[in-house]
Structures are given as structure tokens and as C-alpha cells.
Structure 1
Amino acid sequence: MGHLVRARRDHYLPGDTAEAVIRAVRVGGRLTCLSLLSMLSVFVLRHRALHVHLPRNASRMRSPHDRRRALSSRTRRGVRLHWLPLINPPGKSACVSILDALAHSVLCQAPRAALATLDSALHQGLVRMDEVADMFHALPAKYRVLFALLDPRSESGPETIMRLMLRGLGCEVKVQVAFEGIGRVDLLVDGWLVIECDSRGFHTGWESQERDRRRDILLAARGYTTLRPTAKMIIDEPELVLAAVKRALATRPR
């Protein structure tokens, strides 16, 4: 039998429990929001704090690093507490449900980042669209406008963010468009501009670059123009990417 970890008084967890889960239980709650979603390989734009859900009657909260120290303004640094009533009863789990984690992530992120997280969870089949619709009814009404912007066909967080940036420009954007003899492209803008959101995991190595360049040449032969911003550019330099897109759109030959 494996050893146990004493997270706090009367709370023991298996020795192989993830450290973030142990720290959340030590505080006095359950792991949630970006902390839990990142563990499940759901896209989150920024993740630094420990996100913990607490019941309304929570008491005797402790430092996530030391169960002997009370949670104070000093020991609370790096901890984000969530008090929203849960959608799904967690039972004895040390984590909230993924639907509750997604609900909390909407409150914790800017709209584009929240939509990228939701698209990621939907695309991976971790939740259904009808469940997400119900989730939005549990959130303040001002967030419900986001539901219409979801698209589970988006295969990555940066792709969702890029799609929303393009919509902000008033462009017509189609997602995951298939071209005979070439394959699918991430985004097709105004019927002629192809945007591929490249990530390190799928576009490294000479063979991958050769394949990508061949696709671009084949698309060019059919009258399409391709832009390939990296995921890092989309996230860290959105103004640069948008400037390139605007210039391309403005200079399209008639």
C-alpha cells in the first residue's frame, strides 16, 4: 500500500497526489479553475496562482505551504479563492468538476482567453456544448454573450484567439476549411487569406517545414495567400500579427 500525505487535520491524500491538489486541500478547499484545467491539458493563457474553491462556511483556512500557518494576507499571496456555488456536487473529490472549473475560468480570464479555454475543453470532448450552455446560466448574466462565440472546431487556444482577433476586424472567418489534395487549414479569412497558427509541437523539424511550405505553394497556385504566425506571436505580440493581417487585407489585388 502506498503512503499517505497529511494535507491538513483529518485530511489525508495518496502519496502520488499532484502537489497543486495537496496545496488546495491544505488551504481548506478543492482545486479549481486554471490550476485544475492546466493539469487536464486544457488550454489556459496565463497560469501562476493556485486556484482554490471554498464552501461558503469555510473556516480555519491554512497556508498552501504550511498547514500549521493560518491563511493571511501574507500567506495568501499566489492564491486565488473562489466562492461561487458549485454546479456539480464534488462528493469526496479534492477537485471540483471540470464544468465548475470552466465556470471559474470565465470569471478569472479576459474574454478571449476564457473562450480559448472553453473551446479547448469542448474540442477535447471533456464537456458538451449543452453542458456549457447550462454553465453560463450559473454565471452572472453579463458573461452569457460569450456563448455565441464558442467554436469547438478550433484545435488550439491560439487558433481561437486568432479567430476572435479577426472577427474584431470585421472579417468573415471560416474554421478548419478543407482543400482537396492539400488538407485542412486553420482559418480562411474573407475567402482568400489562409492563416495557419503554428505551434512548436507540430511544426518543428525539417520534414514538417517542408510539408508546410509545400501546402503554402499549393494554396498559392490556387490564388490563396498564407500567413503563419506562431502561437507565441499570437499570444505575446497580437498587435504585430494584426498589423500583418491588416496590411495583407489592404493590399489584396482586385
Structure 2
Amino acid sequence: MKIDGIYHQRTLRAQGVARAELLRRTAHGEHRTVRPWYVTDAAPTDLLALLELGLRPTCLDAASLHGVWTPPHTGVHVFRPRMLRLPPELEDVRELPLRRGRMNGTGKRPLQRLVLHGPELRSWPDDDPVPDLGLVLEHAARCLPTVKAAELMESSLQRRLIGRGQLEQLLLRLPKDIRRPLSRVRGDAESGTETAVRWWFESRGIGVKTQVRFPYDARRVDLLVGRNWIIECDSREFHDDPLSYAEDRARDLYLESIGYRVTRLTWEQVFLHWPDTRRKLQTILSRGDHRHELRRSARSG
């Protein structure tokens, strides 16, 4: 994946940029060298911090750069080829500013520890500063809990960043114990929140339908659990749209009026307070309300 402000020396040579011109640009401060890169002021500073160590982002952090939805996490996931060895004085360097982090009280971004991924290649596969999405997702599958890797894969499919055939080829490269559960990955999940909740229900053998349409309603609901339990999953960390709020509640009232139970889960409930949310969902499941038959009017629409 190419990044504005970062250019590999081989790429510039292939474009016909002469060495003398590169030296002129360096002398005039138009770029600087971070071997084998030439970088300008447009380059992301956090990515440069990795490249200066001979590392590239992967897993969650590279997926975010590709435009994949990613869950909250700590640590900066990085990759180095097998032949690269960090200098001894850098082996203990495990903290870097994190782009996705919020400013703290001092006006600085919080520091995050590096998560070094085991090498899979003897050298970089290309001249881009961010690895190909296929390699990024493969690293994620080997690194993350299954549901977290599934969130990245489902987001990649839904956003058309990777095709189903490409994903199947990726899965074939994984060990069977990793590949088997990830075969459930779908391409219609519209948020990572939805993926996380659906996988939790499915792991308990509960039937879940996704993106279900109802009569007289142009929009789809996220999840239909059992016969009559609708779950809507907010995909945003912050919710400040009064119009959407009103529309959602009017829709909930309609669905309740035709016999469905409606539960809305926020981003915070799923990713910041999941143990408590999970216990409450399990309590509702234990009552068995989702197995009740709907009234005839609800079934017929």
C-alpha cells in the first residue's frame, strides 16, 4: 500500500528520477532519507517512526491504514523480515506515539508498546511502506483471538477491500485450527460491533439472521436472534445525531408493535463493557423469550 510522502528509492529510479536530482532535493530540504525511503513532510510521523527502525505496521495497525474497521486495542503491531535484526541498543525500544490515540492531559499522544509479529518472509514482498492487505490479515489471524480477526476480515469484505476468493486463498495458508472457525466469516456485516455480537451468539449455538428486512421499512435490522429478538449494533464510538436518534426510536416502536423485542447495543457496551453486557445478554437468552412464536400479524407482515 502506497502512502503519500513516502517513496522507495527503487520506485523513484524506475520513474526516471536521477541520483543527482535526488541529491538536489535532499540538499534543498524537499525530502529526507529513511533508507530505503525518501520521505517528505506529508509522511505520517508515526509510520516514519516504524520505518526508521526497519519495521512496518501489520495486523490491526496496518489494517486501519488500509481503511479496515478495527476494534480498540493497545500496542502497535509491527512486522520485520527474518533477516532484519534491530541494533542491540534498540532491542528494548517498545514504545511509540500511536496515531489513533487521543491526546492526554499534557497535550501529547499516549505511548503504546510494540507488538512484534513473528517473521513470515525472508525479505519485504514489495516496495510499499504498508504491507499488502492479504499479508496483514494473515498476520491478524495468527495473532488475534478468532473473533477479532473475523472483525477485520468481515470489514474488509463489506468494504470491498478484498474479494471472497482472495480471502479463501488466505485462509488456506493458515493452520487448520485457525482456518476452521474463520470459515464462518461473512461479507454482509455492516460494523465490527455487529460481527462481535453475532459471533458471540453463534458460539453458543444460537441461530442468528443478519441484515433482515421487514415490511413497510426500507432499512434492514442488524441481527435477528431466534424468532423474535432484534438486536441493533451501533458502529460509532460517539453518538450525536438527534435526527438518527429519533428515527431509530420510531423504528423500534414499529418493530415492538408487530411483536418483536428490540435491543440496542452501543459501541461502548460491546468494546468497553463487554463482560457486563455479555452477562445481561445471557440472562435474556436463559429466559428463552427469543424462542416464542410471533403473532400471526407479525409473521405475515
TM-score normalised by the chain length of structure 1: 0.85
SS at match of 1:228: strand
Change in 2 beyond 3 A, CA 1:179/1:202: farther
Q: Deviations over 1:36-60 (max 9, x none)?
A: 112233122233323322222113x
Distance in 2 between residues matched to 1:160 and 1:76, nearest whole Å:
31
> Offset at 1:140?
2.7
SS at match of 2:141: helix
Distance in 1 between residues matched to 2:176 and 2:162, nearest whole Å:
21
Distance in 1 between residues matched to 2:162 and 2:169, nearest whole Å:
11
> Offset at 1:200?
3.7
RMSD: 2.5
> Offset at 1:102?
0.9
Task: Please list, as runs of the form range in 1=range in 2, the aligned pairs for 1:1-254 lying within 5 A after superposition.
Answer: 3-7=30-34, 9-59=35-85, 61=86, 70-72=89-91, 74-77=92-95, 78-85=113-120, 90-182=125-217, 183-200=219-236, 204-249=240-285, 250=287, 252=289
Deviates more, 1:140-149 or 1:43-52: 43-52
> Offset at 1:188?
0.2
Distance in 2 between residues matched to 1:84 and 1:129, nearest whole Å:
26
Letter in 1 for 2:90: L
Distance in 2 between residues matched to 1:27 and 1:201, nearest whole Å:
32
User: 1:66 — aligned with what?
Assistant: none
Distance in 2 between residues matched to 1:130 and 1:98, nearest whole Å:
14
Distance in 1 between residues matched to 2:145 and 2:192, nearest whole Å:
13
Letter in 2 for 1:205: D
Q: Deviations over 1:102-144 (max 9, x none)?
A: 1111222111111111111111111111111111222233211
User: 2:5 — aligned with what?
Assistant: none
User: 1:65 — aligned with what?
Assistant: none
Question: Which structure would you say has the larger Rg?
Answer: 2
Contact between 2:212 and 2:222, CA under 8 Å: does it hold in 1? yes
How many percent identity over aligned positions?
28
Contact between 1:188 and 1:194, CA under 8 Å: does it hold in 2? yes
Distance in 2 between residues matched to 1:203 and 1:46, nearest whole Å:
17
Matched residue count: 244
Deviates more, 1:221-230 or 1:137-146: 137-146
Contact between 2:72 and 2:271, CA under 8 Å: does it hold in 1? no
Letter in 2 for 1:5: R
